[in-house]
Structures are given as structure tokens and as C-alpha cells.
Structure 1
Amino acid sequence: MNDIAFAELVEKTRETLQRVAEQFAPAVFASSLAAEDMVLTDLILRDKLDIGIFTLETGRLHTETLGMLDRIRETYGYEVEQFKPDASAVEQYVRQNGLNAFYESVDMRKECCRIRKVEPLNRALAGKQAWITGQRRAQSTTRAELHVKERDEAHGMEKFNPLADWSEEDVWHYIRSKNVPYNPLHDRGYPSIGCEPCTRAIQPGEDVRAGRWWWENPESKECGLHVVDGKLVRIKSVATSA
């Protein structure tokens, strides 16, 4: 992509974020603190948009990922809000199934994700009109039909994926050109980063999300944040130009 086309892509994304802030308040951005989310963090905070930023602190994140909270504070003077799982639910899961039961079956893994991610997300979105994610269409087969704007029926609100059209090269060009801080795990072969026991580095030629829940089949590799009753929320997506 040439410089003009890239500048247009960035401007289109900025306009989407501005529209969310102006038309869908209160709105929030769910950040995983990975590369894509640092692009959106930079755009939101540079433009001083009225969009809150939060992360799901699952209790099993990499030290490097948690370190991004400090990097954001130091770079932008912004405190990312953290939503943590219910301690009693985590304790019960571990007591009944073991600390790493998620390796045993997809159901066990999804239950762990429900406790550590989905339930905290529901709390984070309570009372909001819209939420934003850093998902991209090119990330995996489960996101091939991703649109910039979707109707999230599960939470009764609009959902925006401003980077849906971005390539991985676009993400890194923005980060390097704007000197945006990023998770050092990306330099160690982790293009997609989740909880530490569920994420590995990928091999050359693998899908960018191959390191997430690597012991499962590709079609099951979503944690439940973007899936309802086994179906992708984006089934009811609207046109990208919306």
C-alpha cells in the first residue's frame, strides 16, 4: 500500500472512531493490549476522543502484556480500566477441574474463557451504547466476514471493528511510523496474544492466530467474546460503509 492509500485508510478509521464517540456515547474500547489494539489506543488518545478503554485482566496474562498498562500510562498519561473475573468462580473451576483443565476439551476451555473473559466483558459493557474491538478480517478463518459495524444482539448494542480492512503490514507500518509502544512478545513470534498458557509463538507460514489454543481445530478458536450460541455475532453485520 502506498503512502496516500495508507493515509486514507488511517483517516477512514479516525472518522469511524469519531462517529462512535459522537453518536454512540457512552462507548468503550475493549483492548487486549496487542498490536492492533495499540493502534486504536493511539488514535483514540491522540484525538482525545470520549471513548473509555478497558482490558480483561484474566489472571493468567503474560508479564509482558501486563507491562503494557504501564507503557500506556507513561506514554499517554492514561489509566486503562481493568475488569477481572469473579474470584469465587475461578476458585470453583480450579477446585473442580484443575488449574489447566482447558487443555482437556473445548468445553472445558470455553468454560474457563467464560469465567475469565466473557463474564467480565458483560460487566464492562453494562450501560454502554457501543463497543469497539481491534479485530481484523485477515486474522483468521473465523473472522473472514468481519465488518466495520455490526449489531451485537447479545449485548443489545452496536459493535465496531475499525481495523477490519487493515492488513498486518498496515498495523505495523502505523506502529513504527508513529512510534507506538507495543507488546515485546510480538518480536518473539507472537502475532496474537491471549492468556499465557493458551498462547504460543507461531511458525513461519502459519495463520496469525495459530498460536491461540493451538491444540484445537481452527474453527473453534474463539473465546466467546465474539460468539453467541455457537454462532458468530457478526452474522447480523451491516455494510462496511455504515
Structure 2
Amino acid sequence: MNQDRIGIKTPEYVSLNFQLAGLGSRTAAYLIDQIILIIVNILIVMVLFMILYGQSDLLLWSEINSVPVAIAIILMFILNWGYFFAFEYFSGGRTIGKKVLGLRVIQENGHSITLLSSFIRNFLRIIDSLPANYFLGMMMIFFHSKHKRIGDLVAGTLVVHERNTKKKKKLSPIEKEIEKRGLAKSDLFVEEQVLKTFGAKDWNLVKTYCSRFIHLPEEESIRLTRQVAEILLPKARVDARGKSFQDLENNLLVLYLHLKDEWEYEL
């Protein structure tokens, strides 16, 4: 069941292929996330007891300030519900457990998960967890053709395996050029929210540019670099004014690395 694949055509008419995540891998990712949450909850309770112990030498409940207890309860509620919502939206559809297992949540059209989609699918965990121990959600994932639980059905999302880059022993020409120049994603800071504004057309443009410019004569390469930089760098909130064409090339190559994580996970 984990070998099921699905083809998606995006609104930009780009065809993407994904391997759907089945019950086994999704359960393993969920257990990792739960272990993390349990550890954090235990730490919160320990801190709470330390605070209460400091307030009452006799440990009499009548003398204990209820404010720390209320704060701890609210904090634990926000943590346990907001963990999945926040990580999936701000980390490209990946909680820590999903990242370890190489999974991510995407929309049915192949785009990154939106704020509303993340909110809906995680709010409906309440229903998926019925009657106990996530039974309804697991049954839905097991029997649904696209391995969807109720939250996925309502939010219009899929859980897929990310492209496994470890299997690729040979570097592509783009990767060789990036490695040769010693470039890394840290060389160009782009906010997560800004990256989400880039669409498939932007990804195809930067990918096509990076694969072509090294093979062009210098004059054509410079002209192409400046043209593409004028389109993409302002969108990434990078000031291209006064930069040499080599700096622009490097900026575009690093932008390629950022967008690659978001778009190049076809199988």
C-alpha cells in the first residue's frame, strides 16, 4: 500500500508524481511527534511542580497559587494542538516526525499546504482520534485509495514521500556548479513566507536558467542572468541593484537551492 503513486497536474500545467504515504509510515511519524510532545509535557509539569513547591513549604493545596496551574494547562493545550498546525505550515508540510520519515503534507493540486488547510486538517484530528487511539483516522488511511483521513478529505491535502536524493550518486550539472562555487542556502536568506509566494512558473524559470547559463557564451550568459535576476530576485526581496553579474549568478543558484526543496520532490 505504501507503493501507491499518484500523478498531479498543477494549475500551472506542471505534471508531478508522488508516492503516497501509507498507514505504516504515517503512524511511525505520528509516534515520533507524540514522543516529543510527551517529553515537553513532562518538562512543563516538572517546572510547574518546582514553582508550586517554592510557593508552599508545607505543600498545602489551599495555599497554592492557581495562576501557574492555569498557565501550565493553557500552555500544554496550545502545545499539543498547535504543534502539528504550526510545524506543517511553517516547515513546508513537515512535522519533526514527518521530516525524520521523509514525509510531507501537500495540497491536492501539488502546491504547499496553506494556512487554512493546515488549520482544518489538524482541527479535525479531534474526529479522527475517535473513538480512541486514533482508530477512525487509521481506518480511513488504511482503506482510502489515497490514504486520507477525515482531516485530509476536508482540507484537500495529501501526505506523500519526499524525493529521496540519497539514491542519486551522480551530481547534476547544476549541483556540480553549485558545489564548485562553494554555495549554500545560507548564502542568501529568504523568508519562509516569501518562498511560498513562488509558483511553479518561477521554479521552472530558475531551473531552466541554472541548467542553461553555464553553456552559453559569456555575453549571452550575462544578458540572460540580468533578465532572470530582474524577474526573480525582487520577488525574493533581494536588491539586485549594483551587483555584478557573477553575484547575480550566485544569488540565482542559491535561490534554486531554496526552491528545489519546495518543488523538486517528484519521484
TM bucket (normalised to shorter chain) is under 0.3
Name the structure where helix makes up a greater proportion of residues: 2
- TM-score w.r.t. structure 1 length? 0.22
- TM-score w.r.t. structure 2 length? 0.20
